[in-house]
Chain A
Amino acid sequence: MAELPNVHLSLPSRPENVLIVRQALNGVAACLTLDAIASNDLNTAVTEACNNVVMHAYGEHEGALEVDVLALSDGVAVVVRDHGKGMPPHGEEQRQEGIGLAVIDTLARSVGFALTPAGGTELRMEFDVPNASALEPIAGEDLETFAAARSGPAGAVELRLAPNAVVRAVLPRVLGALAARAYFTTDRISDVQIVADILATNAGESIRGTHLEVGVTIAPRKLELLIGPLLTGRGESLMTAAADGSAPVVERLTDAQRVARFDSAETLELHLADHR
């Protein structure tokens, strides 16, 4: 059994995706009832680590920026990972790097580097949290099967969220920020967040396995969500979850829905557009 993150994000290493990481962290901070200073510390340190991956890990190319949030008994650990060359470069960039790492060193209670088997880098930062119990340590088998088998489109943002309080704080924020990027109006951003609320609230009883996985693809005025792995029959019941016994909320707020069988589980695909 491995120690699994409460939150796992995998995003293309683009500058604009650091904003998505920050929104996820705001959710974690809200969930842990961090005060503004602790939340700011967490956000600033992780931003520095992500910027390092975006700017240096893959040279001229793009790769995956991965962020994990793990529960500790007295705090949280955030791991920022790349599969590129990772380690801070030397030479002319060194001045900036040094400052970024000095910032992380000041704001985190401990910092450690590790190399991934593929030669990338993991930067693990730990932060003190007085009320860390809102996140539960998650143990389970490795998560790779589902995500690897369905291989989302390039450029997609992938989230894996443990079905506890954190999913309810993180998912609406992240999907809201992605909807904003897809030029949705504030009306539709709120609709997306309502759909996220429903997915998050029902995650515990809907998923097969340890985590709710959501793959998000965005295009101008379009947002596509691939949600899984769900227990058989749950895709349908998520879709028709009713607001007041008379109207299926998710069906009403989305433009297309599809449930697909996947081994012994299923996926729910939701399309949201902003027609204005």
Chain B
Amino acid sequence: MPSVATKPSPGARTAPGTSDDSHELFTRWQCDRDPHAREALVRQYLPLTRGLARRYGRSSEPFEDLLQVASLGLLKALDRYDVDRGHPFASFAVPTILGEMRRYFRDSGWAVHVPRGAQERALKVRDAQERLANVHGRAPTVNQLAEFLEIDTEDVIDALQAIQAYDTLSLDAPRPRADGEAVAYGDTVGEDDERYELVELDATVTAVLGHIPPRERLILRMRFVEDLTQTEIAERVGISQMQVSRLLRRSLEQLRTLTRAD
């Protein structure tokens, strides 16, 4: 077993010190209410504030909003910091600023709702995916999506994940086909299902497949029997590739559960 080293508090131990200059500025602001001193302190600790806003709120809210909240935390910290206790300012400011951001998230319902920024981005990624697939005749890479949308690759990855999880996005609306003609599922599914009528399956599997909706059965067939790509399936069925992905994963999961239940 590794030996445990004693460590009272990482913040207190290694946080940056408060220079004599800052000490004077703090005295001028806290005792004399000198606005120039506060301005100088804000300027000095803005990089710290900016860094915290970026670290804590990555990819969920517009950065400007977060920076504003974090800056409010900085102002509170400047007021409450006790310069004579000798702790470095940063070790006091970090929890205050993070606390302000957490409260903002809590109050704005961020914990329970899908963050606005994340939701908007997921929709943009979905639309960009379709657009690029149409232009190039094949699905784009994450890097191409990131470049096209001018966002981080990690944001694209998160958005792809979010799309898999969302039921709230209007993914089920009819999607325009490549030839510009909008098609609703009902039209495609009915006719195609006849052609893909299942054969040569044992009784258990046939019974189980009966629990899977026709559209999902069709998509399973297209992917695993006909070996079409998800993008090709998306175009034929008239939905997005993201939704094909979601439906495939979901119906495979359903099949496994059903097979096990038998």
- The residues of A with any CB-CB pair to B shorter than 8 Å are 19, 22-23, 26, 30, 35-38, 40-41, 43-44, 47-48, 88, 94-95, 97-99, 101-107, 111-117, 122, 173, 176-177, 180-181, 183-191, 193-194, 197-198, 201, 242-247, 249, 252, 276
Q: Which residues of A contact B90 (CB under 8 A)?
A: 95, 98-99, 102
Point out which of A48, A95, A101, A185 has the most chain B C-beta atoms below 10 A from its C-beta. A185
- What is the interface of chain A mostly: helix, strand, loop, or mixed? helix
Q: Assuming A98-B14, A185-B140, A190-B245, is B2 touching A243 (CB within 8 A)?
A: no
Q: Which residues of B contact A185 (CB under 8 A)?
A: 138-141, 231
Q: Which residues of A contact B110 (CB under 8 A)?
A: 36-37
* Interface pair A35/B112, CB less than 8 Å apart: yes
Interface size counted on chain B using CB atoms at 8 A: 78
Q: Which of B24-32, B78-86, B173-181, B251-259 contacts A (4 or more CB under 8 A)?
A: B251-259
Chain A CB within 8 A of B71 CB: no
Q: Which residues of A contact B98 (CB under 8 A)?
A: 103, 106-107
* Interface pair B201/A244, CB less than 8 Å apart: yes
A241 to B220, CA, bound (A): 14
* Interface pair B106/A37, CB less than 8 Å apart: yes
Q: Assuming A37-B105, A197-B249, is B201 touching A246 (CB within 8 A)?
A: yes
A104 to B244, CA, bound (A): 40
Q: Report the minimal beta-carbon distance from A135 to chain B, rounded to whole angstroms.
A: 20
Q: Which residues of A contact B153 (CB under 8 A)?
A: 180-181
Chain A CB within 8 A of B56 CB: yes
Q: Assuming A22-B154, A243-B255, A247-B225, is B140 touching A186 (CB within 8 A)?
A: yes
* Interface pair B248/A101, CB less than 8 Å apart: no
A267 to B102, CA, bound (A): 45
Q: Assuming A180-B141, A244-B198, is B129 touching A99 (CB within 8 A)?
A: no
